[in-house]
Amino acid sequence: MQAHSVFFYFFSLITVFSSFMVIVSRNTVYSVFFLILVFVSVSVLFIMIGAEFLGMIMLIVYVGAVAVLF
């Protein structure tokens, strides 16, 4: 149970930091990379709570769409 909590807090901190960097970043390319990092970390959080389908859909649809669109 302890390892699960450590991973949860680690990916939560990555999500919050990356979300802040999406807003603050002046370079568009860096902003897109941070947005992809936000989506990946949120999908990992979904997978950790047992919602594997939501996590995989988040990876496939949102990360793929942002990468292709940019």
String of DSSP letters for 11-57: HHHHHHHHHHHHHH-SSHHHHHHHHHHHHHHHHHHHHHTT-HHHHHH
Q: How far is 65 from 59, CA to CA, in rounded Å?
A: 9
pTM for this model (two decimals): 0.83
Compute the mean pLDDT over every residue in the chain, rounded to the nearest whole number.
89
pLDDT at 68: 79
pLDDT at 70 over 90: no
